[in-house]
Amino acid sequence: MSDMLSPLERNLTLQIEQLLQKHSERIEELEARVRQLEDERAELTTMMNLWHALQTPLRSSPP
């Protein structure tokens, strides 16, 4: 099929494929960053919950 393409069509096809590859790689990078941020948020939430628990006075049991 590529034999049937003109040089301009081949060039444009190559440019489009390269652009798609570049965008695909960028999407993968962004998805990895989102996962990292979600992990960090979970860790911070755990720390905040622990901090809140430490600020809450313990109830003593009746004697």
CA distance 2 to 19: 19
10-50 confidence digits (pLDDT tens): 999 999 999 999 999 999 999 999 999 999 999 999 999 99
For residue 60, the model assigns a pLDDT of 66
- Whether 10 and 2 have beta carbons less than 8 Å apart is answered as yes
